[in-house]
Homo-oligomer: A and B are copies of this chain.
Amino acid sequence: MSQDGVGIDLDRSLGYLLKEASSALRSAMEEVLRPLGMNVTHYSCLELLAQRPGLSNSELARGAFVTRQSMNVLLQALERDGYVTRPAEARVGKVLPTQLTPLGRQSLERATAAVRAVEVRMLAGMTETEQSDAFRILRSMIHSLHDGDHDARLAPRPSSATGRQYTG
């Protein structure tokens, strides 16, 4: 189990544990979303639009932690199936603000309930203090990781940026 000091001890690595937690959360979410015909990215997109109507494709991509190319494929499907609408032409620049349709809002409702249950389950057994500790600690990790980007720019960083949006 433990090792000779050469590698990274996975049993003691916070990075590994973070990945494990995230994997468990994703599995749990996929499990409850599948019966609703959604995956996590799909749900994230709808939830983002419910809270911030008019987000653009690129903004949604950053919020869902995928590339804008991936989000574009998803948005085209959601638009085709009537869950969201986008203007045919941009009013300013190239940005196409996206809106949830009533159908999309209705679809989101059930998904939100399912996801909320998963999140409640995840937080079971944690005190208020632990939850706020978790919040602060995760924020610290994110901040530190972004700070050290090798190709860091001095440009203002959009909220919830991951760096991935620069790859496309």
Residues of chain A at the chain B interface (Cβ within 8 Å): 1-3, 6-10, 13-15, 17-29, 31, 47-48, 50-52, 63, 65, 108-109, 112, 115-116, 118-119, 121-126, 130-131, 133-135, 137-150, 160, 162-164
Residues of chain B within 8 A of A160, CB atoms compared: 20
> How far, in whole Å, are A138 and B130 apart by their CA atoms in the complex?
10
Contact for A140 among B9, B109, B126, CB less than 8 A: B126
Residues of chain B within 8 A of A27, CB atoms compared: 145, 162-164
Residues of chain B within 8 A of A48, CB atoms compared: 10
Closest to A164 in B: B27
> How far, in whole Å, are A42 and B38 apart by their CA atoms in the complex?
28
> How far, in whole Å, are A27 and B123 apart by their CA atoms in the complex?
26
Q: List 6 A-B contacts (CB under 8 A).
A: A14-B135, A17-B135, A19-B25, A23-B164, A123-B141, A134-B134
Given A21-B145, A31-B149, 6 further pairs, Cβ under 8 A: A1-B51, A10-B48, A17-B135, A21-B22, A27-B164, A133-B133
